[in-house]
């Protein structure tokens, strides 16, 4: 029987959310102690816990069939892997930063300068595209201290809240790429494994789409019904149920998280009352 091997980060920023996603997909991971390997009791899947930098290589070689890494790691690794799905967590950006005291005229600032980074491949491609000639210093950690110790004039590193840059006297000047956790896959899957992967991606979709939508229940006076129904597309169309009180209906629908507050304001302006918003655990379209 087929078995899908998935590589996830052993310990780091992606570990907890990666395991949580499998749990939300109904996959129970045995072996909480997190050794090198674990299996699941109710899905033919095996987990390998690895350093994130090693995951693209293992997926390319078929040691793991799929893996979860940051897009930044997938791109930098230049291994034969594909992004199968964006997973919506561990969002960050890879940016260029320089000392706060410097004037920044634009990207040409970096001509003839040195830049420290752990992402030489991505940075090199970016500089080439921007026609900038800079020297790249590859270092593996604590990139943010490089300008302070005179190792480089600028850095290219992951930024999330920006507080690391701030506390090192640096300022972000260019965004090189945006990144989030992604599911990656190689090309060595047999038919049975492809089928398992389809099942897994179907479940992940249901979880991710659910997170991106809310279930909304509201009351509407009959004269506002049509207007409110127009505002609420729902999965097919909203559910409309009469209230015990004459002249009123309850409307149930699904709205997207992206313009959540905008939608709520429009509904209130159209006469909606008693609006309840409920999270959706899974949504299958
Ligand atoms: O041990 P292993 O090699 O597996 O882990 P790691 O140390 O290489 O990676 P880890 O766990 O730090 O990060 C895993 C992934 O999380 C990265 O590849 C990114 O895709 C994503 N991610 C999201 C981040 C951050 N946010 C982040 N803030 N990765 C790193 N940082 C670091 C950054 O390098 C900088 O030092 O946090 C600092 C900046 O954070 P702010 O909030 O101060 O801006
Ligand atoms: Zn790493």
109-122 residue pLDDT tens: 999 999 999 999 99
For residue 176, the CA-to-ligand 2 centroid distance in Å is 19
Structure confidence at residue 33 (pLDDT): 59
Structure confidence at residue 34 (pLDDT): 64
Residues of the chain with pLDDT under 70: 31-34
pTM of the predicted structure, to 2 decimals:
0.93
For residue 13, the CA-to-ligand 2 centroid distance in Å is 10
Structure confidence at residue 198 (pLDDT): 97
Structure confidence at residue 127 (pLDDT): 98
| Pocket-forming residues, ligand 1, beta carbon under 6 Å | 9, 12-14, 51-53, 70, 72-73, 90, 92, 144, 157-164, 179
Query: β-pairing, 66-70 with 4-9?
Result: parallel
Query: β-pairing, 114-117 with 154-159?
Result: parallel
42-95 residue pLDDT tens: 999 999 999 999 999 999 999 999 999 999 999 999 999 999 999 999 999 999
Q: What does the block give as tokens for 244?
A: 């015990």
Q: Which atom of ligand 1 is nearest to the CA of 159?
A: 44
User: Reduced to 3 states, what is the DSSP secondary structure of residue 85?
Assistant: strand
CA distance 84 to 186: 10
């Amino acid at each position: 029987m087929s078995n899908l091997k998935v590589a996830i980060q052993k310990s780091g920023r992606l570990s907890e959310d990666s395991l949580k996603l499998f749990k939300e997909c109904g996959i129970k991971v045995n072996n909480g102690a997190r050794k090198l390997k674990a299996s699941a009791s109710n899905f033919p899947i095996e987990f390998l816990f690895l350093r994130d930098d090693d995951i693209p290589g293992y997926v390319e070689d078929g040691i793991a069939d799929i893996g979860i890494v940051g897009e930044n790691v997938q791109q930098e690794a230049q291994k034969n892997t594909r992004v199968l799905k964006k997973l919506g967590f561990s969002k960050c950006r890879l940016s260029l930063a320089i000392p706060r005291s410097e004037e920044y005229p634009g990207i040409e600032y970096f001509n003839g300068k040195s830049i420290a980074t752990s992402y030489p491949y991505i940075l090199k491609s970016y500089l080439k595209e921007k026609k900038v000639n800079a020297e790249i210093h590859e270092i593996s950690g604590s990139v943010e201290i490089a300008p302070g110790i005179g190792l480089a004039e600028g850095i290219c590193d992951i930024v999330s809240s920006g507080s690391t840059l701030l506390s090192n006297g640096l300022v972000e000047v260019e965004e090189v790429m945006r990144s989030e956790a992604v599911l990656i896959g190689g090309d060595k899957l047999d038919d049975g494994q492809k089928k398992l992967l389809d099942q897994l991606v179907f479940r992940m979709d249901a979880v991710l789409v659910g997170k991106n939508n809310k279930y909304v229940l509201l009351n509407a006076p009959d004269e506002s019904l049509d207007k409110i129904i127009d505002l609420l597309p729902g999965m097919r169309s909203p559910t409309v149920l009469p209230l015990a009180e004459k002249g009123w209906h309850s409307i149930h629908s699904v709205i997207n998280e992206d313009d959540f507050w905008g939608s709520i304001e429009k509904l209130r302006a159209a006469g909606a009352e008693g609006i309840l918003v409920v999270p959706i655990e899974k949504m299958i379209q």
